[in-house]
C-alpha cells in the first residue's frame, strides 16, 4: 500500500465513509447492526401510531344531559279534557278545560285550544278566563291567552272586573294580568280602552298604558 496523492484506497473503502462489506455474512451482520441502532426509534413510531389509532377509534363519552337533542313533538295529547289541581289540604285551586291539549316535554309547556280556566286563591277569590288558544306552564300557574282572551276578576266589593284583549298574560298564583296589546276593561258600567295594562289583584291596582278612552254609563244606571 502506498500513501500520498493518488494513492489507492484500502480494500472495501470508498470516498465519504465505509461501505457495507461484500460477503453475504458481512452483509447480514451489517444489516443487523443497522436495525439494532434504529430499533428504539422504530418502537417509538409504532407506539405513536398505536396511540393515534386508539384515540381515533375509541367511542366518545356521553355529553351532559342538557346537550341531548330535545324533542319538539308533544309526548301526549288529550281531547275534551278537564284537569284540576288541589292544594295540600285538598282544596281546588285550578281547573283547566279545553277542546285539545298538547304537552311538550322539552319545555314542560302545554298548548290548549278553546281554553276555559277557573282559578281560586287561598283567600277564596275566583278568577275566570277563556280564550281561543292558550300556552301554559306544565302546572297551569302561568297562562298566555291568545285570541278573544278574557279574564274576569273582582274588586274588594265583589264587583266584576273584566279584561279583554287579543293577548292576556295571566299569573294565577300571584293573581296578576299583563298585556302589551290593546285592551278593554269593564268595571260596573264603566268601559276603558287602552294600549296595554298591568293588573295586580291582591293590591287592587290597575295600570293602563298608552292612549286611554273612558266611557261612563248614563246617570242613574244601576250596576
Q: What is the pLDDT of residues 134-164, one digit of tens each?
A: 999 988 889 999 999 999 998 777 889 999 9
Average pLDDT along the chain? 79
> Which residues have a Cβ under 8 Å from the Cβ of 208 and sit 6 or more positions away?
183, 185, 192, 194, 195, 196, 197
Closest-CA residue to 126 (of 154, 163, 157):
154
CB 75 within 8 A of CB 67: no
Helix (H, G, I), strand (E, B) or coil at 51: helix
pTM of the predicted model as reported, rounded to 2 decimal places: 0.65
- According to the model, what pLDDT value does residue 95 have? 94
Closest-CA residue to 119 (of 158, 82, 83, 92):
92
- 4: pLDDT strictly greater than 50: no
C-alpha torsion 7→9→10→11, nearest 10 = -130
Q: How confident is the model at residue 195 (pLDDT cuts 50, 70, 90)?
A: very high
Q: What is the pLDDT of residues 61-107, one digit of tens each?
A: 544 443 344 447 888 899 999 999 998 999 999 999 999 999 998 88
**Cell, residue 206:** 290597575
CA distances to 86, 96, 123, 152, 220 from 160, in Å = 25, 21, 17, 7, 19
- According to the model, what pLDDT value does residue 150 have? 98
- 5: pLDDT strictly greater than 60: no
Amino acid at each position: 500500500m502506498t500513501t500520498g496523492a493518488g494513492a489507492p484506497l484500502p480494500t472495501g473503502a470508498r470516498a465519504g465513509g465505509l461501505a457495507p462489506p461484500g460477503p453475504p455474512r458481512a452483509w447480514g451482520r451489517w444489516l443487523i447492526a443497522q436495525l439494532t441502532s434504529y430499533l428504539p426509534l422504530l418502537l417509538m413510531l409504532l407506539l405513536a401510531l398505536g396511540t393515534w389509532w386508539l384515540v381515533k377509534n375509541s367511542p366518545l363519552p356521553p355529553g351532559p344531559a342538557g346537550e341531548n337533542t330535545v324533542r319538539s313533538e308533544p309526548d301526549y295529547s288529550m281531547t275534551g279534557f278537564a284537569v284540576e289541581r288541589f292544594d295540600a289540604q285538598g282544596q281546588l285551586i285550578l281547573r283547566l278545560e279545553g277542546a285539545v291539549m298538547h304537552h311538550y316535554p322539552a319545555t314542560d309547556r302545554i298548548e290548549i285550544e278553546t281554553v276555559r280556566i277557573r282559578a281560586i286563591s287561598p283567600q277564596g277569590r275566583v278568577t275566570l278566563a277563556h280564550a281561543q288558544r292558550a300556552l301554559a306552564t306544565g302546572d297551569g300557574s302561568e297562562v298566555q291567552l291568545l285570541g278573544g282572551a278574557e279574564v274576569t276578576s273582582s274588586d274588594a266589593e265583589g264587583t266584576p272586573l273584566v279584561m279583554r284583549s287579543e293577548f292576556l298574560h295571566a299569573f294565577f298564583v300571584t293573581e296578576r294580568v299583563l298585556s302589551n296589546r290593546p285592551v278593554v276593561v269593564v268595571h260596573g258600567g264603566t268601559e276603558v280602552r287602552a294600549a296595554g295594562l298591568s293588573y295586580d289583584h291582591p293590591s287592587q291596582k290597575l295600570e293602563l298604558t298608552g292612549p286611554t278612552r273612558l266611557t261612563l254609563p248614563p246617570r242613574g244606571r244601576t250596576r
